[in-house]
Structure 1
Amino acid sequence: MKLHGHHHVSSLTANAERNLAFYRNILGMKLVKKTVNQDNTSNYHLFYADAKGSPGTEVTFFEIPLLAQRREGTNRIYEIGLLVSSRASLQFWLERFKAYQVEHEDIRDRNGVLVLPFQDPDGHRMSLIVDESAAPVLENGTDDVPGEHAIIGLGPATLQVRYAEPTAQVLTDVLGYTKSGHYKNGEYAVHVFQVGESGLAGEIHVEENKDLPKAREGRGSVHHIAFRVKTEEELHQWVEHIEKEGFTTSGFVDRYYFKSLYFREPNGILYELATDGPGFDIDESVEEFGKALSLPPFLEPKRKDIEAKLKPLRT
């Protein structure tokens, strides 16, 4: 039973079409699955990833039209990192953000690593982060994003909590992370945790901030973060393990493209454990990713009704 870094991150958007235009056209990520929220089939669930839809590269969005803006505060996933392979890549993205008027900050050093913070149209906080140990993945390039500068996958995720110790204890004692360092974000302490050999692709940064009220979820919020589990058999073992630790869980959940387990840590942040397979190519080829509305078999009989409720998404 070992976790292998991040599997995916799921966030909230108020406009799927605008979201698609940003993540596919500006960030150059591939729309690997156009489907619906399995718990509310009236709304889209969009998955972006690398060219193959690999675990550890996925950023997903639930569309909730007319969703109010989030309220800033603690006890939330504050920022998501995306990895690139060089400082030259950060410079490429800095110029691209200027050209497309993407809200961004300057390139800076954070805990010994170069980062370029930016926000998407919903105000979702992200940073491009240089991982010098990672080779560029040329096949992730697009017509106007060269492969050597393309996004490789997920990087460090930053949690902002009022009390760091309960979150740290779950990461280390329950999920098998180790504390690897700490740094300061202004006056606030940030604790760094790693799991296995995943490096930056599996880092969790926990910032303790007692000055803010509790956050309110809204557009631009990160809904949950999922960690990689290799097999379905291991996931069943994790269900038993986490429930023995006293947590209320979702139990084993079949999401068709992967199998899942959900639970909340003591500060209320939602964690998911998700299997690497079966994968997004279970119902369509890599070449056909994202072109048509994909539905898991248990929703397929309702396709006509589901499609009638969805606003056509120009792809």
Structure 2
Amino acid sequence: MKNNLLGIHHVTAMTDDVVRNYEFFTKVLGMRLVKKTVNQDDIHTYHTFFADDGGTAGTDMTFFDFPGQPKGKAGTNSIYRTSFRVPSDEALEYYKKRFEEFNVKHEDISEVFGNKVLRFEEEDGQLYQLISDENNTGVAAGTPWKNGPVPEQYAIYGLGPIEIHVSYYEDFLITLKQIYKMREIHKDDEFAVLEVGEGGNGGRVFLYNNQETEGVQGYGEVHHVSFRVKDDAAIEEWEARYKGMGIPNSTIIDRFYFKALYARIGHILIEISTDGPGFDTDEPYETMGESLALPPKLEPKREYIESQIRMFDTTMN
């Protein structure tokens, strides 16, 4: 296949409190809010995007805010943990001290597949880890937020490996390789590492064989993961590939900031997204994320939407 996946595009999770989540990502983690919009499939709820300085594809963690949704439960048959890339092992030490300062629940620095990691949780139980790029090669990272609270030499600048847990480990591994052409670079009975694109931390999946209790969707859990393709021609080729393999899918959806194609593989919702047009399509670099942005198809409903959602201030003072 000509248009293979280039790397991770974004991860979307669910929060119970869009304001607390915004404070955590911008003031504690030091990621930039590059888009404050609504869920295009449920316009009564927010969809927020946190990324690098310019909102580069492959750097954004996004959130749905579903008021009243029950709390989820971590477990198998789910996207279990999201990783964020930092430049060095020293950056992990910086964040460990920062987490202690802000009372963020975290573990000690450990190692996964030759990379040092620092695992931590958000207040709602969402599981994350920072992963060091100290010895990393492959998919390029983004640019740290220039006006953020974390010094640029330590700051998060991209998404790292996506951690997936399944109870049907061998079958799911084969499926990822057959459908998505993922390359297996490590495998034992409990853990596998797969790569797409140029590989490295920005193009990896950590797959775990987990026979424990199944996870439950809800706030504090991941909704889906998306992988990057270059352009419209590439995503159209993927739609044709799904059709040819008999895989049910959403067909291509224009999200204005990128085009998207969804398919559920086992329990895991996988999206394929184009790199552009990008988040600066409707807002200048200087003020991205400061106002409620709506794609053109929703702009006529702005007054109604603003009456339904809880407005909150995201201007940078």
| TM range, smaller chain | over 0.9
Q: Give the aligned residue type for 2:46.
A: Y
Distance 1:82 1:286 in 2: 22
Instruction: State the AA in 2 paired with 1:293.
Output: L
The equivalent residue for 1:232 is 232
1:257 aligns with 2:257: yes
Indicate the RMSD between aligned Cα atoms, in angstroms.
1.5
Matched, 1:101 2:103: yes
Q: Return the offset for 1:269.
A: 0.4
Counterpart of 1:145? 150
Where structure 1 has 5 or more consecutive residues not aligned to the other structure, the ranges are none
* Distance in 2 (alpha carbons) for counterparts of 1:216 and 1:136: 32
Quote the residue 2:312 is aligned against.
313
Q: Secondary structure at the match of 2:267?
A: coil
Question: What is the identity, as a one-letter code, of the residue corresponding to 1:279?
Answer: G
Alpha carbons of structure 1 residues 281 and 232: separation in structure 2 relative to 1, 3 Å: same
Paired with 2:220 and 2:17, the residues of 1 have a C-alpha distance of 11
- Listed as ranges, the matches of 1:265-276 within 5 Å are 265=265, 267-276=266-275
Aligned CA distance change for structure 1 residues 192 and 20 (closer, same or farther; 3 Å): same
1:219-255 Cα shifts (integer Å, max 9, x gaps)? 1110000000101111011001012112100001100
Note the 1:175-254 alignment, pairs <5 A. 175-182=180-187, 189-212=190-213, 214-254=214-254
TM-score (norm 2): 0.94
The residue number in structure 2 matching 1:290 is 289
Match of 1:129 in 2: 131
Shift of 1:75: 0.7
Q: Which position in structure 1 is the counterpart of 2:92?
A: 90
Runs ≥4 in structure 1, deviation > 2 angstroms? 133-144
Aligned partners of 1:254 and 1:143: how far apart in 2?
31
Query: For the Cα contact (< 8 Å) 1:141–1:149, is it kept in 2?
Result: no
Contact kept, 8 Å, 2:9 with 2:58, in 1: the verdict is yes
Displacement after TM superposition at 1:312 (Å) = 1.3
Kindly indicate whether the alpha-carbon contact (under 8 Å) linking 1:109 and 1:115 is maintained by their aligned counterparts in 2. yes
Cα distance in 1 for partners of 2:148, 2:215 equals 39
User: What letter is aligned with 2:205?
Assistant: I
User: Hey, what's the Cα distance between the residues in 2 that align with 1:241 and 1:300?
Assistant: 34
C-alpha change, 1:246 and 1:125, in structure 2 (3 Å) is same
Give the aligned partner of residue 167 of structure 2.
162
Whether the 8 Å CA contact 2:141–2:202 is kept in 1: the answer is no
CA distance, structure 2, for counterparts of residue 197 and residue 111 of structure 1: 17
Q: Can you give the 5+ residue segments of structure 2 that lack an aligned partner in the other structure?
A: none
SS in 2 for 1:158: strand
Residue type matched to 2:264 in 1? R
How many pairs align?
309
Kindly report which structure 2 residues correspond to 1:71-90, keeping only aligned pairs within 5 A, or say none.
71-90=73-92
Q: Any conservation in 2 of the 1:28–1:141 contact (CA below 8 Å)?
A: no
Give secondary structure in 2 for the equivalent of 1:205: strand
Q: Quick one: distance in 2 between partners of 1:136 and 1:94?
A: 21
What corresponds to 1:280 in structure 2?
Answer: 279
- Alignment match, 2:179: 174
- Distance in 1 of aligned mates of 2:43 and 2:216: 24
**Structure 1 contact 136–148 (Cα < 8 Å) conserved:** no
